[in-house]
Chain A
Amino acid sequence: MDCLYPFMSEKSFEQHFHHIYLEGYKKLNGLVQATPYADFGEIHRVVHLSSSHLGDIEIFNAAADIRNHQVFFDTLVPWDFVDPDKALGRMTRRELFVQFGGLEAFKIEFLKHAKKFKGSGWLWLINRNSHLEIMSVYNNATPEVLEERIVPIFCLDMWEHSYVEDYGADVEAYVDAFWHSLNW
Protein backbone atom coordinates (compact mmCIF):
# COMPACT_ATOMS: atom_id res chain seq x y z
CA MET A 1 0.00 0.00 0.00
CA ASP A 2 1.87 3.01 -1.23
CA CYS A 3 -0.70 5.75 -0.93
CA LEU A 4 1.23 7.55 1.78
CA TYR A 5 4.26 7.77 -0.46
CA PRO A 6 6.39 9.84 -0.45
CA PHE A 7 5.73 10.81 3.15
CA MET A 8 6.03 7.17 4.11
CA SER A 9 7.46 4.53 1.80
CA GLU A 10 5.64 1.27 1.29
CA LYS A 11 8.30 -0.53 3.33
CA SER A 12 8.09 1.91 6.20
CA PHE A 13 4.29 1.84 6.14
CA GLU A 14 4.26 -1.96 6.18
CA GLN A 15 6.58 -2.01 9.18
CA HIS A 16 4.95 0.85 11.04
CA PHE A 17 1.27 0.18 10.39
CA HIS A 18 1.25 -3.60 10.39
CA HIS A 19 4.15 -4.68 12.57
CA ILE A 20 3.98 -1.97 15.17
CA TYR A 21 0.50 -0.42 15.22
CA LEU A 22 -1.67 -3.44 14.45
CA GLU A 23 0.53 -5.76 16.52
CA GLY A 24 -0.09 -3.35 19.35
CA TYR A 25 -3.77 -4.31 19.33
CA LYS A 26 -2.85 -7.98 19.68
CA LYS A 27 -0.59 -7.17 22.60
CA LEU A 28 -3.26 -5.09 24.32
CA ASN A 29 -5.90 -7.78 23.79
CA GLY A 30 -3.57 -10.23 25.48
CA LEU A 31 -3.03 -7.90 28.42
CA VAL A 32 -6.69 -7.05 29.02
CA GLN A 33 -8.01 -10.58 28.75
CA ALA A 34 -10.01 -11.43 31.85
CA THR A 35 -9.93 -7.83 33.02
CA PRO A 36 -12.78 -5.27 32.94
CA TYR A 37 -10.88 -3.49 30.18
CA ALA A 38 -11.69 -6.30 27.79
CA ASP A 39 -15.26 -5.04 27.45
CA PHE A 40 -14.34 -1.46 26.69
CA GLY A 41 -15.22 -0.75 23.10
CA GLU A 42 -12.83 2.10 22.55
CA ILE A 43 -9.13 2.54 23.08
CA HIS A 44 -9.33 5.98 24.60
CA ARG A 45 -11.49 4.63 27.40
CA VAL A 46 -8.86 2.03 28.22
CA VAL A 47 -6.27 4.78 28.15
CA HIS A 48 -8.23 7.03 30.50
CA LEU A 49 -9.06 4.42 33.09
CA SER A 50 -5.66 2.72 33.16
CA SER A 51 -3.91 6.10 33.46
CA SER A 52 -5.24 6.44 36.99
CA HIS A 53 -4.34 2.95 38.19
CA LEU A 54 -0.66 2.48 38.89
CA GLY A 55 -1.01 -1.30 38.80
CA ASP A 56 -2.27 -1.09 35.22
CA ILE A 57 0.79 0.67 33.87
CA GLU A 58 1.54 -2.05 31.35
CA ILE A 59 -2.00 -1.81 30.00
CA PHE A 60 -1.75 1.98 29.93
CA ASN A 61 1.52 1.89 27.99
CA ALA A 62 0.10 -0.51 25.42
CA ALA A 63 -3.19 1.37 25.09
CA ALA A 64 -1.64 4.83 24.93
CA ASP A 65 0.80 3.64 22.30
CA ILE A 66 -2.15 2.44 20.21
CA ARG A 67 -4.08 5.64 20.85
CA ASN A 68 -1.21 7.84 19.69
CA HIS A 69 -0.73 5.69 16.59
CA GLN A 70 -4.46 5.68 15.96
CA VAL A 71 -4.67 9.47 15.85
CA PHE A 72 -1.48 9.63 13.77
CA PHE A 73 -2.62 7.21 11.07
CA ASP A 74 -6.19 8.50 11.09
CA THR A 75 -5.05 12.01 10.20
CA LEU A 76 -2.80 10.99 7.30
CA VAL A 77 -3.95 11.31 3.68
CA PRO A 78 -2.23 10.78 0.34
CA TRP A 79 0.31 13.43 -0.66
CA ASP A 80 -1.28 16.87 -1.15
CA PHE A 81 -4.72 15.34 -1.01
CA VAL A 82 -5.92 18.14 1.27
CA ASP A 83 -5.02 21.75 0.62
CA PRO A 84 -4.72 23.69 3.90
CA ASP A 85 -5.60 26.90 2.08
CA LYS A 86 -8.99 25.43 1.25
CA ALA A 87 -9.48 23.26 4.33
CA LEU A 88 -8.74 25.62 7.19
CA GLY A 89 -11.66 27.75 8.27
CA ARG A 90 -11.61 31.37 9.38
CA MET A 91 -11.60 30.61 13.07
CA THR A 92 -8.70 28.18 12.80
CA ARG A 93 -6.74 30.67 10.71
CA ARG A 94 -7.40 33.37 13.23
CA GLU A 95 -6.31 31.15 16.07
CA LEU A 96 -3.15 30.15 14.19
CA PHE A 97 -2.42 33.81 13.62
CA VAL A 98 -3.01 34.80 17.23
CA GLN A 99 -1.02 31.93 18.72
CA PHE A 100 1.81 31.59 16.22
CA GLY A 101 1.64 34.34 13.63
CA GLY A 102 -0.03 32.32 10.90
CA LEU A 103 0.16 28.88 9.31
CA GLU A 104 3.74 29.22 8.05
CA ALA A 105 4.93 30.55 11.40
CA PHE A 106 3.18 27.66 13.10
CA LYS A 107 5.04 25.18 10.88
CA ILE A 108 8.35 26.83 11.79
CA GLU A 109 7.51 26.61 15.48
CA PHE A 110 6.45 22.98 15.14
CA LEU A 111 9.74 22.18 13.41
CA LYS A 112 11.66 23.86 16.23
CA HIS A 113 9.96 21.54 18.69
CA ALA A 114 10.69 18.56 16.48
CA LYS A 115 14.39 19.40 16.28
CA LYS A 116 14.62 19.89 20.03
CA PHE A 117 12.87 16.62 20.76
CA LYS A 118 15.00 14.58 23.14
CA GLY A 119 14.11 10.91 22.93
CA SER A 120 11.08 8.90 21.79
CA GLY A 121 7.58 10.28 21.86
CA TRP A 122 4.94 12.26 20.06
CA LEU A 123 4.66 15.88 18.97
CA TRP A 124 1.10 17.12 19.26
CA LEU A 125 -1.05 20.05 18.34
CA ILE A 126 -3.63 20.32 21.09
CA ASN A 127 -6.37 22.68 22.11
CA ARG A 128 -6.11 23.68 25.75
CA ASN A 129 -8.58 26.19 27.18
CA SER A 130 -9.56 27.27 23.65
CA HIS A 131 -5.97 27.93 22.69
CA LEU A 132 -3.85 26.01 20.24
CA GLU A 133 -0.62 24.68 21.69
CA ILE A 134 2.27 22.54 20.51
CA MET A 135 3.05 19.85 23.05
CA SER A 136 5.86 17.29 23.24
CA VAL A 137 5.12 14.10 25.10
CA TYR A 138 7.61 11.35 25.68
CA ASN A 139 7.49 7.58 25.33
CA ASN A 140 3.85 6.49 25.65
CA ALA A 141 2.42 9.59 27.27
CA THR A 142 -0.67 10.97 25.56
CA PRO A 143 -2.00 14.51 26.07
CA GLU A 144 -5.66 13.79 26.71
CA VAL A 145 -4.92 12.13 30.04
CA LEU A 146 -2.74 14.94 31.26
CA GLU A 147 -5.49 17.45 31.86
CA GLU A 148 -9.26 17.52 31.64
CA ARG A 149 -9.43 20.38 29.19
CA ILE A 150 -6.98 19.16 26.60
CA VAL A 151 -8.44 18.33 23.21
CA PRO A 152 -5.94 16.53 20.98
CA ILE A 153 -5.92 17.65 17.34
CA PHE A 154 -3.11 15.89 15.51
CA CYS A 155 0.24 14.34 16.25
CA LEU A 156 3.51 13.42 14.60
CA ASP A 157 5.19 10.18 15.66
CA MET A 158 8.65 11.16 16.89
CA TRP A 159 9.72 7.61 17.68
CA GLU A 160 12.59 6.91 15.32
CA HIS A 161 10.81 3.87 13.88
CA SER A 162 8.52 6.31 12.13
CA TYR A 163 11.19 8.03 10.08
CA VAL A 164 14.58 6.32 10.21
CA GLU A 165 13.85 4.07 7.20
CA ASP A 166 12.85 6.95 4.91
CA TYR A 167 14.63 9.97 6.39
CA GLY A 168 17.60 8.64 8.37
CA ALA A 169 18.34 11.33 10.92
CA ASP A 170 16.77 14.15 8.88
CA VAL A 171 13.91 15.24 11.12
CA GLU A 172 13.45 18.44 9.14
CA ALA A 173 12.69 16.56 5.92
CA TYR A 174 10.31 14.27 7.82
CA VAL A 175 8.37 17.24 9.24
CA ASP A 176 8.33 19.03 5.86
CA ALA A 177 6.86 15.94 4.22
CA PHE A 178 4.31 15.52 7.00
CA TRP A 179 2.58 18.76 6.06
CA HIS A 180 1.84 17.26 2.64
CA SER A 181 0.20 14.20 4.15
CA LEU A 182 -1.76 15.79 6.96
CA ASN A 183 -5.52 15.88 6.74
CA TRP A 184 -5.92 19.59 7.40
Chain B
Amino acid sequence: SLLFFSSMQNISKTVSICRNVSTRSVSLAAKHTLPDLSYDYGELAPYIGARIMELHHSKHHQTYVNNYNAALDQIAEAQEKGDTETVAKIEGSAVRFNGGGHHNHTLFWKVLAPKKSGGGEIPESSKLVSDISSEWGSVKKFQETFNARAAGVQGSGWCWLIHNGETNKLEILTTPNQDQPKLYVKDCTPVLGIDVWEHAYYLDYENRRPDYLKNIWEVVNWKQMEEFHSSAVKE
Protein backbone atom coordinates (compact mmCIF):
# COMPACT_ATOMS: atom_id res chain seq x y z
CA SER B 1 0.00 0.00 0.00
CA LEU B 2 1.13 3.49 -0.67
CA LEU B 3 1.15 6.28 1.86
CA PHE B 4 1.03 9.55 -0.05
CA PHE B 5 2.03 12.84 1.50
CA SER B 6 1.04 16.03 -0.22
CA SER B 7 3.12 19.16 -0.36
CA MET B 8 5.79 19.45 2.24
CA GLN B 9 5.29 23.14 2.77
CA ASN B 10 3.65 24.67 5.80
CA ILE B 11 0.52 22.59 6.10
CA SER B 12 -0.12 20.68 9.23
CA LYS B 13 -2.51 17.93 8.13
CA THR B 14 -1.58 15.22 5.68
CA VAL B 15 -3.69 13.91 2.90
CA SER B 16 -5.30 10.52 3.33
CA ILE B 17 -4.41 7.15 2.03
CA CYS B 18 -5.07 5.31 -1.17
CA ARG B 19 -7.46 2.39 -1.37
CA ASN B 20 -5.38 -0.65 -0.64
CA VAL B 21 -4.31 0.28 2.84
CA SER B 22 -4.70 -2.45 5.40
CA THR B 23 -6.72 -2.74 8.54
CA ARG B 24 -6.03 0.26 10.66
CA SER B 25 -8.00 3.46 10.33
CA VAL B 26 -5.70 6.31 9.70
CA SER B 27 -6.72 9.58 11.19
CA LEU B 28 -3.29 11.03 11.00
CA ALA B 29 -2.90 13.89 13.38
CA ALA B 30 -0.93 17.01 12.58
CA LYS B 31 2.36 15.98 11.04
CA HIS B 32 5.72 17.59 11.37
CA THR B 33 7.27 18.94 8.21
CA LEU B 34 10.72 20.03 7.15
CA PRO B 35 10.93 23.81 7.62
CA ASP B 36 12.16 25.95 4.75
CA LEU B 37 15.42 27.79 5.19
CA SER B 38 15.34 31.57 4.87
CA TYR B 39 18.54 31.44 2.81
CA ASP B 40 19.95 29.32 -0.02
CA TYR B 41 22.20 26.34 0.59
CA GLY B 42 25.22 28.19 -0.72
CA GLU B 43 24.79 31.38 1.27
CA LEU B 44 26.68 30.32 4.39
CA ALA B 45 29.80 29.47 2.39
CA PRO B 46 32.70 29.33 2.88
CA TYR B 47 32.05 28.83 6.60
CA ILE B 48 29.56 26.06 5.93
CA GLY B 49 29.56 24.85 2.33
CA ALA B 50 26.56 24.27 0.09
CA ARG B 51 27.14 20.52 -0.08
CA ILE B 52 26.90 20.22 3.70
CA MET B 53 23.86 22.49 3.88
CA GLU B 54 21.96 20.54 1.25
CA LEU B 55 22.81 17.17 2.80
CA HIS B 56 22.16 18.41 6.31
CA HIS B 57 18.78 20.00 5.56
CA SER B 58 17.27 17.89 2.78
CA LYS B 59 18.59 14.50 3.92
CA HIS B 60 19.53 14.44 7.59
CA HIS B 61 16.83 16.77 8.92
CA GLN B 62 14.24 15.27 6.55
CA THR B 63 15.05 11.79 7.92
CA TYR B 64 14.45 12.99 11.47
CA VAL B 65 11.09 14.45 10.38
CA ASN B 66 10.07 11.21 8.65
CA ASN B 67 11.11 9.00 11.55
CA TYR B 68 9.50 11.37 14.07
CA ASN B 69 6.18 11.19 12.24
CA ALA B 70 6.45 7.40 11.99
CA ALA B 71 7.14 7.16 15.72
CA LEU B 72 4.13 9.36 16.50
CA ASP B 73 1.98 7.09 14.33
CA GLN B 74 3.22 4.08 16.25
CA ILE B 75 2.41 5.84 19.51
CA ALA B 76 -1.12 6.61 18.30
CA GLU B 77 -1.60 2.96 17.41
CA ALA B 78 -0.28 1.79 20.76
CA GLN B 79 -2.46 4.29 22.58
CA GLU B 80 -5.52 2.96 20.78
CA LYS B 81 -4.69 -0.47 22.14
CA GLY B 82 -4.01 0.91 25.61
CA ASP B 83 -0.43 -0.32 25.36
CA THR B 84 1.21 2.20 27.66
CA GLU B 85 4.46 0.23 27.85
CA THR B 86 5.06 0.55 24.12
CA VAL B 87 4.11 4.22 24.22
CA ALA B 88 6.70 4.87 26.91
CA LYS B 89 9.31 2.86 25.02
CA ILE B 90 8.81 4.81 21.79
CA GLU B 91 8.74 8.14 23.60
CA GLY B 92 11.95 7.34 25.43
CA SER B 93 13.78 6.27 22.32
CA ALA B 94 12.47 7.08 18.84
CA VAL B 95 10.68 10.29 19.82
CA ARG B 96 13.54 11.46 22.03
CA PHE B 97 15.95 10.92 19.14
CA ASN B 98 13.97 11.89 16.06
CA GLY B 99 11.75 14.52 17.69
CA GLY B 100 14.85 15.96 19.27
CA GLY B 101 16.60 15.88 15.90
CA HIS B 102 13.73 17.72 14.26
CA HIS B 103 13.39 20.42 16.93
CA ASN B 104 17.14 20.90 17.34
CA HIS B 105 17.73 21.36 13.63
CA THR B 106 14.71 23.66 13.28
CA LEU B 107 16.33 25.97 15.81
CA PHE B 108 19.78 25.53 14.24
CA TRP B 109 18.67 26.86 10.83
CA LYS B 110 17.24 29.92 12.55
CA VAL B 111 20.40 30.77 14.49
CA LEU B 112 22.44 30.84 11.28
CA ALA B 113 22.29 33.63 8.71
CA PRO B 114 24.26 34.69 5.65
CA LYS B 115 26.66 37.58 6.13
CA LYS B 116 24.44 39.80 4.00
CA SER B 117 21.58 39.23 6.48
CA GLY B 118 23.66 40.05 9.51
CA GLY B 119 25.31 36.68 10.07
CA GLY B 120 28.26 37.06 12.42
CA GLU B 121 27.37 40.64 13.34
CA ILE B 122 27.51 41.15 17.08
CA PRO B 123 25.22 44.04 18.04
CA GLU B 124 26.98 46.94 19.73
CA SER B 125 24.58 47.17 22.59
CA SER B 126 22.02 44.56 23.46
CA LYS B 127 20.57 42.85 26.50
CA LEU B 128 22.03 39.54 25.32
CA VAL B 129 25.51 40.95 24.82
CA SER B 130 25.49 42.64 28.20
CA ASP B 131 24.21 39.47 29.92
CA ILE B 132 26.92 37.42 28.16
CA SER B 133 29.56 39.92 29.25
CA SER B 134 28.32 39.80 32.85
CA GLU B 135 28.52 36.05 32.87
CA TRP B 136 31.78 35.43 30.98
CA GLY B 137 33.58 38.77 31.04
CA SER B 138 33.26 39.44 27.33
CA VAL B 139 31.72 38.01 24.17
CA LYS B 140 35.16 36.77 23.11
CA LYS B 141 35.68 34.87 26.37
CA PHE B 142 32.19 33.44 26.06
CA GLN B 143 32.92 32.22 22.51
CA GLU B 144 36.19 30.63 23.63
CA THR B 145 34.47 28.85 26.51
CA PHE B 146 31.58 27.78 24.29
CA ASN B 147 33.92 26.44 21.61
CA ALA B 148 36.00 24.52 24.14
CA ARG B 149 32.86 22.85 25.51
CA ALA B 150 31.61 22.12 21.99
CA ALA B 151 34.94 20.65 20.94
CA GLY B 152 34.86 18.41 23.99
CA VAL B 153 31.59 16.69 23.14
CA GLN B 154 32.36 12.98 22.77
CA GLY B 155 30.87 11.55 19.59
CA SER B 156 27.65 13.19 18.46
CA GLY B 157 25.77 15.99 20.16
CA TRP B 158 25.10 19.69 20.51
CA CYS B 159 26.46 22.67 22.38
CA TRP B 160 23.94 25.19 23.65
CA LEU B 161 23.65 28.62 25.11
CA ILE B 162 20.51 28.46 27.20
CA HIS B 163 18.62 30.82 29.44
CA ASN B 164 17.93 29.01 32.69
CA GLY B 165 14.44 30.04 33.80
CA GLU B 166 15.05 29.13 37.42
CA THR B 167 18.21 31.14 37.90
CA ASN B 168 17.38 33.73 35.22
CA LYS B 169 20.93 33.34 33.96
CA LEU B 170 22.67 32.25 30.79
CA GLU B 171 24.47 28.91 30.77
CA ILE B 172 26.47 26.77 28.36
CA LEU B 173 25.23 23.21 28.14
CA THR B 174 26.18 20.24 25.96
CA THR B 175 23.80 17.41 25.15
CA PRO B 176 24.51 14.01 23.58
CA ASN B 177 23.02 12.77 20.32
CA GLN B 178 19.72 14.60 19.71
CA ASP B 179 18.82 15.31 23.31
CA GLN B 180 17.17 18.68 23.76
CA PRO B 181 18.35 20.97 26.58
CA LYS B 182 14.98 20.75 28.36
CA LEU B 183 15.76 17.12 29.20
CA TYR B 184 18.53 18.39 31.47
CA VAL B 185 17.33 21.85 32.55
CA LYS B 186 13.58 21.69 32.94
CA ASP B 187 12.86 25.41 32.66
CA CYS B 188 15.13 26.67 29.91
CA THR B 189 15.04 28.55 26.63
CA PRO B 190 17.69 27.70 24.05
CA VAL B 191 19.29 30.89 22.75
CA LEU B 192 21.90 29.23 20.53
CA GLY B 193 22.50 25.63 19.50
CA ILE B 194 25.47 24.41 17.47
CA ASP B 195 25.41 20.96 15.89
CA VAL B 196 28.65 19.03 16.48
CA TRP B 197 27.61 15.78 14.79
CA GLU B 198 30.18 14.95 12.11
CA HIS B 199 27.61 15.43 9.35
CA ALA B 200 27.52 19.13 10.32
CA TYR B 201 31.15 19.76 9.38
CA TYR B 202 33.10 16.73 8.13
CA LEU B 203 32.76 17.39 4.39
CA ASP B 204 34.39 20.82 4.84
CA TYR B 205 36.57 20.33 7.89
CA GLU B 206 37.17 16.55 8.17
CA ASN B 207 37.67 15.84 11.85
CA ARG B 208 38.93 19.35 12.64
CA ARG B 209 35.95 20.29 14.76
CA PRO B 210 37.71 23.26 16.41
CA ASP B 211 38.17 24.89 12.96
CA TYR B 212 34.46 24.46 12.25
CA LEU B 213 33.62 26.02 15.59
CA LYS B 214 35.94 28.97 14.99
CA ASN B 215 34.36 29.66 11.60
CA ILE B 216 30.70 29.12 12.39
CA TRP B 217 30.61 32.33 14.43
CA GLU B 218 30.91 34.18 11.10
CA VAL B 219 27.34 33.12 10.29
CA VAL B 220 25.70 33.09 13.70
CA ASN B 221 22.46 35.05 13.72
CA TRP B 222 22.74 37.35 16.72
CA LYS B 223 19.39 39.01 15.95
CA GLN B 224 17.61 35.70 16.34
CA MET B 225 19.55 34.89 19.49
CA GLU B 226 18.48 38.27 20.90
CA GLU B 227 14.83 37.43 20.21
CA PHE B 228 15.09 34.06 21.94
CA HIS B 229 16.84 35.64 24.89
CA SER B 230 14.47 38.56 25.37
CA SER B 231 11.45 36.25 25.29
CA ALA B 232 12.93 34.31 28.19
CA VAL B 233 14.45 36.94 30.45
CA LYS B 234 12.55 37.85 33.58
CA GLU B 235 12.96 41.47 34.57
Contacts and interface: CB of A to CB of B under 8 A. Distances in A.
Contacts of A169: 55, 59-60, 63, 199
A145 to B, nearest CB: 17
A161 B60 contact: no
A125 interface: no
Interface in B49-71: 55, 59-60, 63
A139 B55 contact: no
A19 interface: yes
A161 B55 contact: no
Interface stretch (B162-170, B183-191, B201-209): B201-209
Contact of B203 (A61, A121, A165): A165
A30 interface: no
B202 A120 contact: no
B89 to A, nearest CB: 13
B198 interface: yes
Contacts of A56: none
Contact of A20 (B63, B177, B207): B207
Contacts of B199: 160, 164, 169
B228 interface: no
B57 to A, nearest CB: 11
A32 B55 CA distance: 39
Contacts of B198: 120, 159-161, 164
B127 to A, nearest CB: 35
A159 B206 CA distance: 12
A130 B182 CA distance: 43
Give the interface residue-count category, chain B: 20 to 34
A11 to B, nearest CB: 10
B86 interface: no
Contact of B207 (A61, A161, A168): A161
A16 B113 CA distance: 31
Interface in A136-184: 138-140, 159-161, 164-165, 168-170
B155 A138 contact: yes
Contacts of A170: 59
A140 B178 CA distance: 18
Given A169-B55, A169-B63, 18 more contacts: A19-B206, A19-B207, A20-B207, A61-B154, A118-B177, A118-B178, A139-B155, A140-B155, A160-B156, A160-B197, A160-B199, A160-B202, A161-B206, A164-B55, A164-B198, A164-B199, A165-B203, A168-B59
7 contacts: A19-B206, A20-B207, A118-B93, A138-B155, A160-B202, A161-B198, A170-B59
Closest 8 CB pairs of A and B: A120-B155, A160-B198, A169-B59, A139-B155, A119-B177, A119-B156, A120-B156, A160-B199
Interface of A: 15, 19-20, 61, 118-121, 138-140, 159-161, 164-165, 168-170
Interface of B: 55, 59-60, 63, 93, 97, 154-157, 176-178, 197-199, 202-203, 206-207
